[in-house]
């Protein structure tokens, strides 16, 4: 990095930059424009100072500032259209948020965790959130905004809207794999995204040369086709404006995404929990002060005789008074009510659906075809429904043919192949749902869902909650799962217990074709993210065939089905093991032992009422599932039974599930590790003879 002088102003520019842009002439701007920009930068800086003071007074818990980043952010906001364009921000973007219309009171309310905070205290400070302004609730997880931002941009292009998405990050965020997934898909599809890297040379304490290939993200990514790369001094407003003007014009014109690499300075430690003197020299810290963006713009305005120093001093005094007044107002506001801390995990309104309004009477159908028909009918019913994933498009129709024919029927914009990148699949679904679509992404095997955990845990499941119900991610994530197919370690996993522990999802697993169709339709028409588990072993099994229901057959999520009534013992199960339970019940009926079988159908929400009512009748219960017994979902079922129905138990609760080991490929391994008929019989014998 070298220091140059441009128009009398010290510049932060790389000596060998091939992407540098010239500064805009100050004559281009009106006095009102420059004064408003400077005021916003001052307001952001003063808010940083005030929040740190409040923190020292014990009136806040955390602060992460944007001091030194103000010029590029205000320049970005001045080139975007408030309430039209979209913002996928990161936690230093306070100046951008202010430029787009968020208020100092809202930001101070977030610092003080008041009800007037747009997240009502659910998020940390500087996690900007505004439905009205299209600023999607910021996530703490580094880079979590990249792929949802891509999804919004895809939705914009699909609809033909004249909008742009601002996707922002620090230099540390460019080390995340999702950053390169974003660039790969965004450049392939030429989406209208402006990606701004605010490079302050440090990812907390790690310098950029230890983070980034070539020591410059601009050089690293120049191999991507259709990517406009612009490098600028992000502390100089005039050069930042020129960079953002070019980037936004490029993206809005349909030519593809633009990346603005803005060199900025971090004038504060990483956060209030950090002391940058531990890893930065005094000389380094002092050198950054030369590049204070507020000082630069004020000096440029005075030199151009656009404003006097007295006017600038008066502007600062005005900002200082506003922040003091706004702080007093915020401190008088109410704290959140404790009981509101569990609100907005799932949709809390009324969804008018007519459940199971017919008796299925069509031709018998296997489960994979029922899923295929449900997708076709829902895509025909609602043009917002889109299907995508690995190998789902065209003649293949997915590795299990569940999506066959959908591309031919609805085009490759509504049923399309995604890159082999599970985080991209779920992340773009997140953005598409924010834009108003009903995405139905497919993860090819449950065993390969784990690269998407950043999106699944930190983005999709909590968006409604953390945004205080301003944003949500209604989508259906189809996931083939389960064993009994000799799939080995990476094609036999069950994942319901893992996701059952994440608030914000509904989780279903049908055991037959009719339920598969009805549950999928209900999930698509709902308002929450649903993990729709499809047991691969059941796809074409004859015992899972059912007469096909009609187009509006809906099965309620959260309601179990008593598939066989009995009086001596209850088996509660789901998925592929429903048939094993029914086989056992039929065998024991010949011995005059009556076994009731409950198919949960839904894991979350769990229908405890149906299970407990059955137990109060039979007084003995076997919990049967395919996932590991240790910390499997059966452990939760057992705990709830013990808590609610202990006095009705005539025998200990029995569990049959998989042994705690990966599922080997060889047939003897799978037969031994997964629950088998002998395991079920032995458990029943223990219960009836207790």
pLDDT in tens, 583-622: 999 999 999 999 999 999 999 999 999 999 999 999 999 9
For residue 161, the surrounding DSSP H or E stretch is none
Class of domain 561-688: alpha beta
Q: Which residue has the tokens 């913002």?
A: 87
- In order, the DSSP letters of 321-386 are HHHHHHHHHHHTSPPPPGGGGGTTSS--S-----TT-S---S-EE-HHHHHHHHHHHHHHH-TTEE
Question: What are the boundaries of each domain within the chain?
Answer: 16-332, 364-547, 561-688
The answer to whether residue 663 scores a pLDDT higher than 80 is yes
Average of per-residue pLDDT values in the chain: 95
CB contact at 8 A, 597 and 579: no
Q: What is the mean pLDDT of residues 119-135?
A: 96
Q: Which residue has the tokens 């040369």?
A: 209
Which residues neighbour 676 within 8 Å (Cβ) at sequence distance 6 or greater? none
Distance CA 223, CA 239 (A): 25
Q: How far is CA 642 from CA 303, 619, 635, 686, in A?
A: 78, 12, 10, 18
**pLDDT value of residue 622:** 98
The answer to whether residue 505 scores a pLDDT higher than 90 is yes
List active site positions: 491
pLDDT in tens, 240-265: 999 999 999 999 999 999 999 999 99
Q: What is the mean pLDDT of residues 201-210?
A: 92
pLDDT in tens, 440-496: 999 999 999 999 999 999 999 999 999 999 999 999 999 999 999 989 889 999 999
Distance CA 578, CA 599 (A): 6
Which residues neighbour 532 within 8 Å (Cβ) at sequence distance 6 or greater? 476, 477, 478, 479, 508, 519, 520, 523
3-state secondary structure of 55: helix
Distance CA 558, CA 577 (A): 19
Residue 656 pLDDT level (bands cut at 50, 70, 90): very high
Residue 4 pLDDT level (bands cut at 50, 70, 90): very low
| Exposure of 689 in the CB half-sphere (CA atoms within 13 A) | 6
Q: What is the mean pLDDT of residues 412-434?
A: 97
Q: Which of 92-96, 322-326, 432-436, 488-492 has the lowest mean pLDDT?
A: 488-492
3-state secondary structure of 508: strand
The answer to whether residue 9 scores a pLDDT higher than 60 is no
Distance CA 279, CA 526 (A): 50
Distance in Å from the first CA to the final CA of the chain = 78
How would you list the strands of the sheet with 621-628, edge to edge? 561-564, 595-599, 569-573, 621-628, 654-658
Alpha helices by DSSP H, 145-207: 146-159, 177-189
Distance CA 91, CA 100 (A): 15
Count CB-CB contacts under 10 A for residue 668: 8
Q: Tell me the chain's radius of gyration from C-alpha atoms.
A: 29
Q: How far is CA 641 from CA 151, 337, 482, 649, in A?
A: 42, 32, 26, 9
Q: Is 459 exposed, middle or buried (0-12, 13-18, 19+ CB in 10 A)?
A: buried
Q: Is residue 464 reached through a cis peptide bond, with omega within 30 degrees of 0 on the bond before it?
A: no
Beta bridge partners of 207: 202
Q: Which of 3-17, 86-100, 182-196 has the lowest mean pLDDT?
A: 3-17
Q: At what angle do helices 293-303 and 31-56 cross, to 10 degrees?
A: 150
Largest CA distance in the chain: 100
Q: Which residue has the tokens 């500032």?
A: 65
The answer to whether the 16-332 and 561-688 domains have the same CATH topology is: yes
What is the CATH code for 16-332?
3.40.50.970
In percent, how much of the chain has pLDDT > 90? 94
Q: How far is CA 445 from CA 285, 442, 534, 668, 679, in A?
A: 50, 9, 10, 23, 27
For residue 455, the surrounding DSSP H or E stretch is helix 453-455
Q: What is the mean pLDDT of residues 520-529?
A: 97
Distance CA 55, CA 272 (A): 8
The CA dihedral of 19, 179, 280, 265, to the nearest 10 degrees, is: 50
Which residues neighbour 411 within 8 Å (Cβ) at sequence distance 6 or greater? none
CB contact at 8 A, 72 and 244: yes
Regarding the domain delimited by 364-547, which CATH topology (the fold level of the hierarchy) does it fall under?
Rossmann fold (3.40.50)
Q: What is the mean pLDDT of residues 414-429?
A: 97
Q: Which residue has the tokens 């169709």?
A: 517
Alpha helices by DSSP H, 205-350: 217-220, 237-252, 282-289, 293-303, 309-331
CB contact at 8 A, 624 and 576: no
Q: What is the mean pLDDT of residues 663-686?
A: 95
Q: Which of 290-304, 309-323, 425-439, 482-496 has the lowest mean pLDDT?
A: 482-496
Q: How far is CA 671 from CA 626, 668, 678, in A?
A: 12, 5, 11
Residue 10 pLDDT level (bands cut at 50, 70, 90): low
pTM of the model: 0.95
């Amino acid at each position: 990095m070298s220091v140059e002088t441009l128009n009398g102003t010290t510049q932060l520019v790389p000596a060998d930059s091939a992407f540098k842009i010239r500064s805009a002439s100050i004559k281009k701007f009106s006095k009102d424009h420059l004064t408003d920009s400077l005021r916003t930068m001052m307001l952001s800086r003063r808010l940083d100072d005030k929040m740190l003071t409040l923190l020292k007074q014990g009136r806040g818990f955390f602060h992460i500032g944007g001091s030194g980043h103000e010029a590029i952010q205000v320049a970005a906001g001045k080139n975007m259209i408030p309430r039209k364009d979209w913002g996928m921000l990161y936690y230093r973007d306070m100046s951008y948020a202010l430029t787009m219309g968020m208020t100092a009171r809202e930001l101070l309310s977030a610092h003080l965790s008041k009800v007037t905070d747009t997240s009502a205290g659910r998020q940390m400070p500087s996690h900007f959130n505004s439905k009205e302004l299209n600023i999607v609730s910021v996530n703490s997880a580094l880079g979590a905004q990249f792929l949802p931002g891509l999804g919004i941009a895809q939705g914009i292009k699909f609809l033909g809207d004249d909008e742009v998405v601002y996707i922002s990050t620090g230099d540390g965020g460019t080390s995340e794999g999702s950053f390169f997934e974003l660039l790969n898909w965004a450049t392939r599809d030429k989406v209208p995204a402006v990606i701004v890297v605010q490079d302050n040379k440090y990812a907390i304490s790690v310098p950029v040369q230890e983070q980034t290939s070539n020591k410059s993200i601009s050089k690293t990514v120049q191999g991507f086709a259709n990517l406009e790369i612009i490098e600028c001094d992000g502390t100089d407003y005039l050069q930042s404006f020129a960079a953002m003007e070019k980037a936004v014009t490029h993206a809005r014109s349909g030519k593809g995404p633009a990346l603005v690499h803005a060199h900025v300075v971090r004038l504060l430690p990483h956060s209030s929990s950090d002391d940058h003197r531990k890893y930065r020299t005094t000389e380094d810290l002092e050198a950054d002060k030369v590049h204070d963006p507020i000082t630069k713009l004020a000096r440029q305005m005075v030199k151009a005789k656009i404003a006097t120093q007295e006017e600038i001093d008066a502007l600062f005094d005005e900002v200082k008074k506003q922040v003091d007044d706004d702080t007093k107002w915020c401190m008088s506001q109410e704290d959140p009510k404790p009981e509101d801390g569990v609100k907005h995990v799932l949709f809390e309104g009324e969804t008018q659906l007519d459940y199971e309004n017919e008796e299925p009477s069509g031709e018998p159908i296997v489960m994979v075809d029922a899923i295929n028909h449900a997708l076709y009918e829902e895509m025909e019913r609602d043009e917002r429904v889109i299907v995508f994933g690995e190998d789902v498009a065209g003649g293949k129709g997915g590795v299990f043919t569940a999506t066959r024919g959908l591309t031919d029927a609805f085009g490759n914009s509504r049923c399309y192949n995604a890159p082999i990148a599970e985080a991209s699949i779920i992340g773009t679904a997140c953005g598409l749902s924010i834009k108003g679509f009903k995405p139905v992404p497919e993860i090819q095997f449950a065993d390969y869902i784990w690269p998407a955990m950043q999106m699944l845990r930190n983005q999709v499941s909590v968006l409604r909650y953390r945004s205080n119900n301003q944003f949500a991610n209604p989508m259906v994530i189809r996931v083939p799962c389960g064993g009994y197919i000799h799939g080995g370690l990476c094609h036999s996993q069950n994942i319901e217990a893992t996701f059952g522990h994440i608030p914000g999802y509904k989780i279903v697993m049908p055991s037959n074709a009719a339920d598969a169709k009805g549950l999928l339709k209900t999930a698509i028409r709902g308002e929450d993210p649903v993990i729709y588990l499809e047991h691969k072993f059941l796809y074409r099994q004859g015992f899972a065939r059912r007469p096909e229901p009609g187009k509006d057959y809906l099965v309620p999520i959260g309601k179990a089905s008593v598939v066989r009534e009995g009086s001596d013992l209850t088996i509660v199960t789901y998925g592929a093991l429903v048939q094993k339970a029914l086989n056992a019940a039929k065998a024991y009926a010949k011995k005059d032992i009556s076994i009731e079988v409950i198919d949960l159908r839904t894991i979350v929400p769990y229908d405890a009422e149906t299970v407990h009512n059955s137990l109060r009748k039979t007084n003995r219960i076997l919990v049967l599932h395919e996932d590991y017994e240790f910390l499997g979902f059966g452990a939760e079922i057992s705990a709830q039974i013990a808590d609610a129905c202990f006095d009705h138990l005539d025998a200990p609760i029995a569990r049959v599930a998989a042994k705690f080991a990966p599922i080997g490929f060889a047939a003897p391994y799978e037969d031994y590790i997964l629950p088998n008929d002998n395991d079920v019989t032995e458990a029943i014998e223990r219960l009836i003879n207790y």
